[in-house]
Chains A and B, each alone.
Chain A
Amino acid sequence: SAVISQKPSRDICQRGTSLTIQCQVDSQVTMMFWYRQQPGQSLTLIATANQGSEATYESGFVIDKFPISRPNLTFSTLTVSNMSPEDSSIYLCSVEASPGGVTASTEAFFGQGTRLTVV
């Protein structure tokens, strides 16, 4: 298993500002994922972050709004830029359970999430 630590666990931010969320994993992983969970909703994948390359964003998410860094195999950051109240959500970091596994797997580990409130 992997232990994922996210910082901050929660924050209240003013609109127009930016917040950087950190994700630290206790083991080296190839792929890290960032999800958003809006209040009362399910999880939506924002982007996939691979070390040494630019993040791959899902439809509806752009790099200017959600820049991502992946400086090494155990760490990633997600920045929520120029925030508005609509960005109030829980942001979750995730890693695959079987990096480079032989068999197909949809098992993953998630951090506790960062609860962001924009006022």
Chain B
Amino acid sequence: LAKTTQPISMDSYEGQEVNITCSHNNIATNDYITWYQQFPSQGPRFIIQGYKTKVTNEVASLFIPADRKSSTLSLPRVSLSDTAVYYCLVGDGDDYKLSFGAGTTVTVRA
């Protein structure tokens, strides 16, 4: 699975947009980019997945440039409840194994 690099932590305030960039220079042709969110004392929760360009759902947007060597998770107008660890994963899911990196701890303050 392609290795990913993302910031260890980010601080934000309520109502702001949070953008987390993940680097995956060795992404393979068949790999998808998937983001998970984990609250304390809970298992990770799938947020969004994309292959190229832009994907948007009710929770977030995912921007993927043409070379696919990075991706940016955008959380619009965050609230205190968005405080969590966000993981970027890259893989083709062929064996359904997930390889989690260190993740980005996002702290939203009032």
Q: Which residues of A contact B (CB under 8 A)?
A: 4, 31, 33, 42-45, 48, 92, 94, 96-97, 104-113, 115
**Interface CB pairs A-B, < 8 A, 19:** A4-B43, A31-B96, A42-B101, A42-B102, A42-B103, A43-B100, A45-B98, A48-B95, A48-B96, A94-B43, A104-B30, A104-B92, A105-B96, A106-B34, A106-B91, A106-B93, A107-B93, A113-B42, A113-B43
Q: A96-B96, A97-B46 are in contact. List 16 more A-B contacts (CB 8 A).
A: A42-B102, A42-B103, A44-B100, A45-B97, A45-B99, A92-B43, A92-B44, A104-B32, A105-B96, A106-B34, A106-B89, A106-B90, A106-B92, A107-B93, A112-B42, A115-B41
Q: List 8 A-B pairs, minimum CB-CB distance, nearest first.
A: A110-B43, A106-B93, A96-B96, A43-B100, A104-B92, A106-B34, A104-B93, A105-B93
> Is residue B63 contacting chain A, with contact meaning CB distance below 8 A?
no
Q: Is the CB of A113 within 8 A of B41?
A: yes
Which parts of B21-52 form the interface with A (CB within 8 Å)? 30-32, 34, 41-46, 49
| Residues of chain B in range 51-110 having any CB-CB distance to chain A below 8 Å | 87, 89-103
Instruction: Provide the main secondary structure of the chain B interface.
Output: loop
Interface of B toward A, CB cutoff 8 Å:
30-32, 34, 41-46, 49, 87, 89-103
Of the candidates A42, A48, A109, which one forms a contact with B87 in the assembled complex, judged by CB atoms under 8 Å apart?
A42
- Closest approach, in angstroms, between the C-beta of B40 and any C-beta of chain A? 10
- B residues less than 8 Å from A33 (CB atoms): 96-98
Given contacts A42-B87, A42-B101, A105-B32, contact A110 B96 (CB under 8 A): no
Main secondary structure of the interface of A (DSSP, over half): strand
Query: CB-CB < 8 A to B96: which residues of A?
Result: 31, 33, 48, 96, 105-106, 108
Look across to chain B and name the residue whose beta carbon is closest to the beta carbon of A1: B46
The answer to whether A110 and B44 touch (CB under 8 A), given A42-B103, A104-B30, is yes
